[in-house]
Structure 1
Amino acid sequence: MSAEKNVHVAAFAFPFGSHPTPLLHLVQRLAAAASPAVRFSYFNTAGSNRKLFPAANLLPGHDNIKAYDVEDGVPEGHVFSGNPLEPIGLFIGATPQNFKKRLEEVVEETGSKATCLLTDAFLWFAAEMAEEIGIPWVAFWTAGPTPISLHLNTDVILAKLGQNDDKQNQDQTLDFIPGMSAVHVADLPQEILHLDTPFSRLLYSMSLALPRAAAVVLNSFDGIVDAAVENDLKSKLRKILNVGPSPHPPLNEEERGGGDCLSWLSNHPAAAVAYISFGTMLTPPPPELSALAEVLEEKKIPYLWSFRDNSKRHLLEGFFERTSSVGKVVEWAPQVEVLAHSSVGVFVTHCGWNSVVESITGGMPMICRPFFGDQMINRRLVEDVWRIGVGVEGGSFSASGLAKAFDVVMFGEKGKEIRGNIGKLRECANIAIEENGTSTQNFKSLVGLVTSYDQD
């Protein structure tokens, strides 16, 4: 029996927000690059797995990937309060026992012991679990290099700023951390400043555990951040592997139905359409939705709006009807293809990391409305460091602020400068994924790392 038949990569997902999908995409990419004999097991909660796997926890075309359900920590008959952090807290309470128990069951069922743990970086307990089994732990960080550097510097930040609600220091920059002179205290995720919730303690535990990982993998590329940030990460982590921009898996049959978006876009002039999407989890509050609709209608801007929240759709029904001749609203759009389309002139976004990277690779300027987590940091980079987009005045949508943002990006001289800047970053990304590019070489190293098997 070849060593490859004994290789079993166990992938652990963090089942909230956009986290499970990028990890599954990475697993798909690795499974395609590895020998068909290499087994990939994807561990996730049942509810999350149902959204990712069409049937029977299998993926068509990927015979060496199988999903397994882990307990989500929700007691039988539990009624949720509506607090979005509640299910996360219950899940955290169930870890790491839920993953450990299910992995042991799968090993017994299949007779194939795990030879590598590939996990969402949030699941810090994988460091100890991998050490107990005697296998490598590879952590996948779903955001960018700047936020992970800030998490790794949590103790430095707290020593300097303290854990308090002092609003006076919000404009203070973090110039005491390498490469962070442009980042303000106001940009920091609250979980770094306040270690008083299960989620914030999870992130702090992650910051302490990541230096033990055999490698930390990012959907990023060399040169996207200041060299000081990269050097700080290299000094703290055993190995950091930028493997992006990651290719998007081929669209499935249901997703290809979104292709009419592309034919619709083709009927518009160059750089004329505003593409609007706030990701899978977010919808701005009603007053901000109204402000955005007002400006689009007043300026007669053609728009393609990926609008998923049916509970708020009624708020804009009149607007959608009045503007149906110039606008298109869909529940899902093939974002990578949309952002690369010549008819799109701006991306109105929440500034999630995947959206930012896809915007860069599509060469698309951004209007940013961040909400939480790393999104404020990404907005700072987009507007003040890379200068490839703008935020909105006051941090939330208003008619006057949005009108100025559209004027700058779509109709003003600064828009040309923004496009020039994003073109330079796009070129960096393209170089990274060339045959001998750094991301290509890093991915080859990753394949070798997760599929190596010490038979002793």
Structure 2
Amino acid sequence: MEKRNERQVILFPLPLQGCINPILQLAKILFSRGFSITIIHTRFNAPESSNHPLFTFLQIPDGLSETETQSRDVLLQLTLLNNNCENPFRECLAKLIKPNSDSGTEEGRISCLIDDSGWVFTQDVAESFSLPRFVLCAYKFSFFLGHLLVPQLRREGFLPFPDSEAEDLVPVFPPLRKKDLSRIMGTTAQSEPLDSYLHKILETTKPASGLIVMSCEELDQDSLATSNKVFTFPIFPIGPSHIHDVPASSSSLFEPDQSCIPWLDKHETRSVIYVSLGSIVTLSESEFLEIACGLRNTNQSFLWVVRPGSVHGKDWIESLPLGFMESLEGKGKIVRWAPQLDVLAHKATGGFLTHNGWNSTLESICEGVPMICLPFVWDQLLNARFITDVWRIGIHLEGRIERREIERAVIRLMAELEGEEIQERIQVLKDEDLCIIWIESFNGEE
């Protein structure tokens, strides 16, 4: 570990699992380069500070009620958090800055603030303290640029479209299809708050000191090349942050079931399909049963993450038919949460049925694990199109949660020539130089 350079970086994660992971991984990279790390975070979905004993964690109130924390309306949660957190954040930052300014020394001086693009008040706060702000983009960069066009597309009457055009590409948002775009843009009732929020993201990102992107040239070449049409500041594509040589520690909001690994140890190379739909996706009971029956019918070994409460109206897996697990004869294991990086890196894992969040997508590529794509919302839809239509390293279920479709996709990936060809292509992509280090020259100043 390098010596502390007595410079401090403040990081402020958005309290969603997909946003907490990359910002804590970035914190570990910065710490390994000598920076002191302070994490300001909300009470809602607070990261586990004991997993990061070398960081300073400061919690601020977020004003969310118990009902609001349980809401499935993520846009509502983000709106409330932005409304409620500005003053507590400002007060917390002021307490950190004042002792350093009073001392008049370099020791402990704050280099910059790094926060998620979903915080839309932090630019004004940073400017009030003359503090450089760097924005972390937790999405694939092409999605980040594209999703800012949603208000414009809505104004131009891009939706609705005839059924005959559902498979057509969206010219300004490739390789997205029109049917995908309709899911991203949401319902008419959601249009005004979503468009307003996206406009604020754009307007509060433009004045920042830079944008840190969890991607690289190999995965985002076109969008990185054209980014100067939107932003005038530097963009730092640092690659998949989890593969940097830094000490491992968990940033999961859920407790992983470590019994996954000895279970995988008993299986042959690339013989297990790993199934996880992330930290937000919820299923109806019928969808849950279709996945269960589809996996069972493959006669393929599977490790399935079923998050408690992820099936509507159920605590966990009590909807499974009587004798279901016994009928698998040891070929299936269901857990509440898994140590995903370890699972994907395990030699027994041969495929990943995923919701295609950007973190999961990057982790799968970096471990050379081909994917079956079942995207539900937001950037997952674009990520899945890149996986299947551009990089050709997976199979798309096209939203069909049906046992025969799932059975067929798993068999195609795990037991047929098509799967071998997909495996070869993802291995080529894995072997690309996906890691672009910028920290060595980073000093957090304009």
1:303 deviates by: 0.9
2:415 matched residue in structure 1:
411
3-state DSSP class of the match of 1:384? helix
Alignment match, 2:208: 213
- AA of the residue aligned to 1:41: T
Q: Does 1:229 align with 2:223?
A: yes
After superposition, the CA RMSD in angstroms is 3.0
1:412, distance to aligned residue in structure 2 (A): 1.9
| Equivalent-residue separation in structure 2 for 1:173 and 1:44 (angstroms) | 39
Count of residues in Structure 1 that have an aligned counterpart in Structure 2: 422
Matches within 5 A, 1:183-202: 183-188=176-181, 190-191=184-185, 196-202=191-197
Q: What residue is the counterpart of 2:316 in the other structure?
A: 312
Q: Report whether the alignment pairs 1:432 with 2:434.
A: yes
- Structure 1 counterpart SS, 2:18: coil
Distance 1:315 1:19 in 2: 31
Deviations 1:83-115 (A, max 9, x none): 534433321221432321221233346766744
One-letter identity of the residue aligned with 1:367: I
Separation (CA, whole Å) in 2 of partners of 1:156 and 1:221: 27
Matching residue of 2:95: 105
Q: Which residue of 1 aligns with 2:280?
A: 281
Q: 1:358 to 1:208 in 2, by over 3 A?
A: same
What is the Cα deviation at residue 347 of structure 1? 0.5
Structure 2 contact 21–251 (Cα < 8 Å) conserved: no
CA distance in 1 between partners of 2:216 and 2:235 (Å): 11
Which of 59, 69, 80 is the matching residue for 1:90?
A: 80
What secondary structure, in the 3-state scheme, does the structure 2 residue paired with 1:316 have? coil
Q: 2:439 aligns with which of 421, 435, 443?
A: 443
Give the Cα–Cα distance (whole angstroms) in 2 for the partners of residues 18 and 257 of structure 1: 16
Question: What CA distance in whole angstroms lies between the structure 2 residues aligned with 1:400 and 1:113?
Answer: 59
Give the aligned partner of residue 123 of structure 1: 119
Asked whether the equivalents of residues 118 and 138 of structure 1 are also in contact (C-alpha less than 8 Å), the reply is yes
Q: Is the 8 A contact 1:288 1:396 kept in 2?
A: no
Q: Which amino acid aligns with 1:432?
A: L
Q: Quote the offset at 1:239 in angstroms.
A: 1.7
Question: Which residue, out of 344, 348, 356, partners 2:361?
Answer: 356
Cα distance change of structure 1 residues 165 and 81 upon mapping to structure 2, 3 Å threshold? farther
- Matching of residue 39 in structure 1 with residue 36 in structure 2: yes
For the pair 1:26 / 2:22, whether they are aligned, the reply is no
- Check the 8 A contact 1:219/1:243 in 2, yes or no: yes
- Call closer, same or farther: CA 1:84–1:398 in 2, change over 3 Å: same
Q: How does 1:271-420 map to 2 (within 5 A)?
A: 271-309=270-308, 311-316=315-320, 318=322, 319-323=324-328, 325-393=330-398, 395-420=399-424
1:93-172 equivalence runs, <5 A: 93-108=83-98, 114-154=110-150, 156-158=152-154, 160-162=156-158, 164-166=159-161, 168=163, 170-172=166-168
Within 2, Cα distance between the matches of 1:78 and 1:306? 25
Q: Deviations over 1:383-416 (max 9, x none)?
A: 11111111114x1310121122123211222112
Deviation at 1:78, TM superposition (A): 6.8
Preserved contact between residue 12 and residue 99 of structure 1 (Cα < 8 Å): no
Partner Cα distance (1:81, 1:333) in 2: 22
SS of the residue corresponding to residue 9 of structure 1 reads strand
TM-score (norm 2): 0.84
Percent identity at matched positions? 24
- The TM-score normalised by the length of structure 1 is 0.83
CA distance in structure 2 between the partners assigned to 1:46 and 1:80 by the alignment: 10
Deviation at 1:228, TM superposition (A): 2.7
- Structure 2, unmatched stretches of 5+, are 103-107, 310-314
Aligned partners of 2:364 and 2:22: how far apart in 1?
A: 16
Higher helix share: 1
**Contact 1:152/1:208 (<8 A) preserved:** no
